[in-house]
Amino acid sequence: MRPIRILTFAALFILPAPLQGQEAQGYAPASEATADIIETAKAAGSFNTLAKAIEAAGLTETLKGEGPFTVFAPTDEAFAKLPKGTVESLLQDKEKLATILKYHVVAGEVSSSQAMKLSEANTLADKPLKISKSGKKLMVGKATVTGADIAASNGVIHVIDTVLLPE
């Protein structure tokens, strides 16, 4: 049995039962996933800023590693909600950027149903990430999970609508 580790990159939103899970979203079940977290995120087309930030922070090899990882992945739209100049500034501060990105990642594979039972998870930034429910919505910090259980060969991605900033 694998230890549960949670990766943070975005907030989770639990979809209604008929749409819930990766099969409903057109993704392969975890057992059939062949692309790693980085490849899966790039293929989705809505994580371009995240991919650029991961590369700038020097975390590509980590997230292509064996894992498993759980990534709460903010979309390009989530990054666009940050104050003007924030992304550019972070891309110049590799250490701060790496800490923020690690705050979106949890070691281990945590499904949305498992996350719904947690109150927090320790991130790769060594800072706890608050997890809560609001009706059928899964919240991670101040972010809402808008897509859940996207399988990768080395973990799972949960899409969030807000960039998480550690306190």
pLDDT the model gives residue 33: 79
Q: Which of 4-13, 42-51, 135-144 has the lowest mean pLDDT?
A: 4-13
**Percent of the chain residues topping a pLDDT of 90:** 77
Mean pLDDT value across residues 67-79: 97
Spans of all domains in the chain: 17-160
Q: What angle do CA 124, 94, 7 make, to 5 degrees?
A: 20
Number of other CB atoms surrounding residue 1 within 10 Å: 3
pLDDT the model gives residue 61: 95
Residue 32 has pLDDT above 70, yes or no: no
pLDDT the model gives residue 167: 80
Q: Which CATH superfamily is domain 17-160 in?
A: FAS1 domain (2.30.180.10)
Residue 67 has pLDDT above 70, yes or no: yes
Query: pTM of this prediction?
Result: 0.81
Tokens of 108: 């281990």
